[in-house]
Amino acid sequence: MTDNPDLTGDPMGGFDLGAMLEQAQAMQAQLVAAQSELAARTVDGAAGGVEVTVSGTGELVGVRISAGSFDGGDEESLADLGDLVVAAFRDAKSRADAMAAAALGPLAGGLGGDLGDLGGGLGGLTGGSPGV
């Protein structure tokens, strides 16, 4: 007698490698489509008189500053402006990350439920801004 409990004689125990490969290719196509959709979408974030726009992948694509909000000749006002730009970017980036998590979340189920950094900021996979 053999050590293989499968009585069909199939050394893989009924495991269909072709079906698994087909499923992986379908998941990859879905992931690429979701990433393309994210790259085409934008979200806004704001702080004080500053509003920024980032793509769904977290790339900064626009900055708007309300007229008369800051004195370009005042060093403290410019420092405040810098802080507000950073805060507005973080607001927009967190919205982009939430949008990415929602778009990629359904794909996580087929990958064991954990996309690592993919669900958060998409990391370096799609040109996200790591560390911000």
Could you give the C-alpha distances from 116 to 104, 113, 120, in angstroms and in order?
Answer: 11, 9, 8
Domain region containing 33: 24-125
Whether residue 11 lies inside any domain: the answer is: no
Whether residue 109 lies inside any domain: the answer is: yes
- Which pLDDT score is estimated for 32? 87
In this prediction, what percent of the chain has a pLDDT beyond 90? Answer: 39
Whether residue 9 lies inside any domain: the answer is: no
Whether residue 6 lies inside any domain: the answer is: no
Whether residue 38 lies inside any domain: the answer is: yes
d(CA 131, CA 7): 54
Whether residue 8 lies inside any domain: the answer is: no
In this prediction, what percent of the chain has a pLDDT beyond 70? Answer: 70
Q: Is the model more confident about 69 or about 11?
A: 69
Per the structure, the count of domains in the chain is 1
d(CA 26, CA 28): 5
Q: Which has the closest alpha carbon to 127: 27, 31, 56, 47? A: 56
Q: What is the CATH number of the domain that holds 97?
A: 3.30.1310.10
Whether residue 66 lies inside any domain: the answer is: yes
pTM: 0.63
Whether residue 72 lies inside any domain: the answer is: yes
Could you give the C-alpha distances from 70 to 52, 53, 58, 89, 117, in angstroms and in order?
Answer: 16, 20, 26, 18, 37
Q: What is the pLDDT of residues 87-105, one digit of tens each?
A: 999 999 999 999 988 888 7
